[in-house]
Chains A and B, each alone.
Chain A
């Protein structure tokens, strides 16, 4: 089967750093995406990794290790608006089908 695992919830303080881990066991791999989803809203794209290493985009960075089936999303200088669910998704075919984890709810406290 296909497994994509992430922690259910994480809490951090405003201004701090939080790292959300994602491990995957899939048949095939074409890329890994991170999406942010605020309650009741559409998922919005944060990052894409296909090669090993770190991709940095402002306050958000994403890392991938294909040999370990592991990725993380790093959120720096946390703001209250970063309170949301963060979804890890893997594509394994040539059609772009996204296979999502259950999401990690990040709660930012003052």
Chain B
């Protein structure tokens, strides 16, 4: 089992550009959540996908959007990049029926640098 995988590992963009990050959940997991982790901070919840729908959203602007595919993999899109979007973007997966009391598995993250 490969666990949660994310691509790319690192990415450098300039202000105003757009970026797409990808996540493949752990086998058997149908729920994917995205988090942003700034340096020295804890992860901040961006949104969660289940059954190809955005089910819940954190305090992030509409520039942040996502998608979930029928195979449960997910994408995070960020438009009009700002310097402040530089962070580690983490994807976490879980089976929906155990998400409340069981661990969510995190991927290694994508390190995004905006210049």
Task: Give residues in A with beta carbon < 8 Å to B.
Answer: 4, 30-31, 33, 35, 41-45, 48, 50, 87, 89, 91, 93-103
Contacts and interface: CB of A to CB of B under 8 A. Distances in A.
Which 8 residue pairs across A and B have the least CB separation, nearest first?
A: A100-B42, A45-B103, A96-B99, A42-B106, A43-B106, A95-B56, A102-B42, A42-B108
A103 B56 contact: no
Interface in B83-112: 90, 92, 94, 99-109
Contacts, number: 64
Contacts of A89: 42
A102 to B, nearest CB: 5
Interface string B30-70: 01010100001111110010000001101000000000000
Interface of B: 4, 31, 33, 35, 40-45, 48, 55-56, 58, 90, 92, 94, 99-109
Nearest to A30: B100
A103 B104 contact: no
Contacts of A102: 40-42
B41 A103 contact: yes
Contacts of A50: 101
A91 B103 CA distance: 12
13 contacts: A42-B107, A42-B108, A43-B90, A45-B103, A45-B104, A91-B100, A93-B56, A94-B100, A95-B56, A97-B45, A98-B33, A100-B44, A101-B42
A80 to B, nearest CB: 22
Contacts of A97: 33, 45, 48, 56, 58
Given A48-B103, A91-B100, A98 B108 contact: no
Contact of A31 (B4, B41, B100): B100
